Amino acid sequence: MSEQQPTSPAPKKQMGNLAQRLLTAGVLIPVLVISMFVEATHWSITGFSMLAVFFAGDEYLRMAVGVSPEGGGDRAKGLRATFGLAGAAVVFANTELGTRDAMAPVLFVAAMALAMAILVRKRYLPQAGRHLAVVLSGLVYVPMLACVWPLLKKDFGPEWLFLALALAFSSDSVAYFAGRAFGKHKLYEAVSPKKTVEGAIGGLVGGVAAMLGFGHFWLAPDLPILDAVVLGVVGSILGQLGDLIESMVKRTFGVKDSGNVLPGHGGMLDRVDGLLFVAPLVYYYRILFS
């Protein structure tokens, strides 16, 4: 997700980046809204979720294996294809077969397929143990956390998927602009040098505003005000935690962005890192307390 910026050393470059961010959002947001509220079934959301997981998982694997966008060296095409398809299969099966019935067996099959894909890469056996650890952690990090996205619409209606998206992205966006405008104190410089305490506080405000404005006062009037505030605070904290975790991963592997599939936003994983942690909170709140 976005980095908060306390200073502005290159105004023209930042304005260009902001324009790209807005243009990309201007294309994606209407498509998502139509998929949520106009398309009556959950199929389009399931398809978008599978596609997002495919790209985000591939970015995670490319960072860890050391595959550059320009190619060269170990391009790991077979392993990347297996990993992407396995992640998409986890989302699809979990949505269509049910959480209790599908998650464990699909993860088992995915883990076995990835283990075999690593085993047959004889040229890279010295790195096989590290690659196995990467793909197994990636199964948990991306598809297992993302598999609730289509379930939010399928089980509870489009408004709850929208609330999860609004919570994650409002918190991130307000944190970004608050960090740019007021950021002075570093939040966690060792992991993400540009993030600030002021930006993090702005993110909390954005999360609460999203759950009150979009939730209690509009799409989910049955959502109590106290619950909306708590969800906003906890969801913002989890979203910012997801952002920091992805920053930690990128710093470990020495990359700035996970990819470039979304102009102005970096990679798919850069865009959904907070949502990976926010959506399960909203989903299981709805199961346990509604």
Q: How many residues does the chain have?
A: 290
Tens of pLDDT along the chain (290 residues) come to 555 544 445 555 565 677 777 888 888 889 999 999 999 999 999 999 999 999 999 999 999 888 865 556 778 999 999 999 999 999 999 998 865 667 888 899 999 999 999 999 999 999 999 999 999 999 999 999 999 999 999 999 999 999 999 999 999 999 999 999 999 999 999 999 999 999 999 999 999 999 999 999 999 999 999 999 999 999 999 999 999 999 999 999 988 888 888 876 789 999 999 999 999 999 999 999 97
Give the model's pLDDT for residue 164. Answer: 98
Burial class (CB in 10 A: 0-12, 13-18, 19+), 115: middle
Would you list the domain boundaries of the chain? 41-156, 157-290
Nearest alpha carbon to residue 268 among 1, 87, 86: 1
Give the model's pLDDT for residue 171. Answer: 97
Give the model's pLDDT for residue 259. Answer: 86
Q: pTM for the complete prediction?
A: 0.90
Task: Give the up-direction half-sphere exposure of residue 106: CA atoms within 13 A in the CB hemisphere.
Answer: 25
Contact yes or no for 53/59 (Cβ under 8 A): no
Residues 6+ apart with CB under 8 A from 113: 82, 86
Residues 6+ apart with CB under 8 A from 146: 49, 52, 53, 56, 87, 91, 272, 275, 276, 279
Q: Count the neighbouring beta carbons within 10 Å of the beta carbon of residue 97.
A: 13
Can you tell me the distance from the alpha carbon of 133 to that of 58, in angstroms, rounded to the nearest whole number?
A: 15
Tokens 């106290």 belong to: 226
